[in-house]
Structure formats: C-alpha cells, structure tokens
Amino acid sequence: MLKIIFWLLLLANATLFAMQKGYLGALYSDGREPTRISKQLQADKIKMTVADAASAAPATATADLPPVVACTEIGNFTAAEARRFSSQLAERTPAVKFVRRETQEVASHMVYLPSLGSKEAADKKADEVRRLGISDFFVIQDSSALRYGISLGIFKTDEAAQKQVAGLAKRGLSGAKVGTRTVSSSKVAFQLRDLGGDAKIAFDKIKLDFPGQEVRSCPGP
C-alpha cells in the first residue's frame, strides 16, 4: 500500500514539474491572448484599422459642407443696412470676393410720421427716433404736404408697410402711418463669388440679421 502511495506522489510531482517547465504546453491552452495569437494562421499579417477609420472621418465631414455657387446676389439694402452687411461680410468671410452694385427700386407705400410743422420740430423728433435704435429714416424736406414729416421706409406692398408699422410700435415708436406714394429709391445689392463650404455657413448666419433681404442667383450679363 505504501508503495502505491509513493508512486502516485512521484507521478504527481513529475506532472507538476513538466507543467511548470512548459513541456505539456502543446496539450493545453491557458486561453490567454499571446497563446491564441501564436496559433492563428498568418498572424504576422494582422493589421490594426483604427487609423483607416480616423482618416475616413474628415472626408465625411467635407461631404456635408454646402457646394460652391459661382455667384450669389442678396439685396436690396438701404445705405445704412448695406454698411452693416458689408462690415459683417468682411469680418466673417474675409476670403469671399463680393461686388456692391446700386439698384433702383420703385415702390408705392411709405411709412411715415406726419409733418411736425418746422425743421426744428422735425429734427427734435428725429433725435427721439434715433434714440430708439432706428436708423433707417429721413426728414422729408420737399414741398409736399408731408414736408417736415419723417419717412420710415418705402415698400412695394401695403402688407410689408403695415408690418413695418407694427415693428416700429414694438420698438416704442407710435403714430406711424402708411401712405400711397410712388417713389424711386436707391438700393444696394451685393454679389458674392464662389460662395460655398464654411463661407456659405457663415453667410447664412449673417443673413439671419437681415430677414427681409432676398437671396437669388446673379442676373445674366
């Protein structure tokens, strides 16, 4: 009986010794990564693709940018609006080339404050209007019944003129009226060349400050 126990202990020690030395490695796998990789066919040809995925990301972002348009026109701006618009263009899209052109707009609806009777009274009222942050106006100085009144905008339609009256009232200026009067006024339009990509995105943000302005294709020669 003792001999059997002796031989069993000897066999167990020999097996443990062989396992520690790695003599039995071919008979079992510990499941760890180095062992599994070494058993794969052509393991030396395995390559990481993280860099490939990263390099594809910029191409996707570029595809989302607006396409380039050869010529885009916006306007008709008043002189004050044109100065503000061109200033924002120069600041936000310095690489975009633009051309300013004068246009004539014929309109038949004017928003105005009635005659104040004298130049002094009209100038005083003009200062009040200016303090409300309203800059697109002028004192009427012709020989009509509206002399020494204040013009607050010329519009093609009565609807647009009424919207102007409502907007002025919200800003604190009351008493504005709408009159029918056909006039021709000078306006400013801007033509922007090769507008696209990030410049187009910046242009769209600028446009939000001028909601009444129409964007269109440039007219032909």
pLDDT(3) > 60? yes
Q: How far apart are CA 93 and CA 86, in angstroms?
A: 10
For range 69-92, the mean pLDDT: 92
pTM confidence score: 0.44
pLDDT(11) > 70? yes
Q: How far apart are CA 206 and CA 77, in angstroms?
A: 14
pLDDT at 106: 73
Q: pLDDT digits over 117-152, tens only?
A: 999 999 999 999 999 999 889 999 988 889 999 999
Q: At CA 127, angle to CA 124 and CA 116, rounded to 5? A: 35
Which secondary structure element, helix H or strand E, spans residue 124, and what is its range?
helix 119-131
Q: How far apart are CA 43 and CA 105, in angstroms?
A: 76
What's at 141, amino acid-wise?
Q
pLDDT at 47: 57
Q: Among 79, 80, 82, which residue's Cα sits nearest to residue 90?
A: 82
Residue 157 gets which letter from DSSP?
Answer: S
Q: How far apart are CA 154 and CA 178, in angstroms?
A: 10
For range 192-221, the mean pLDDT: 90
The model's confidence at residue 103, banded by pLDDT at 50, 70 and 90, is confident
For range 90-116, the mean pLDDT: 89
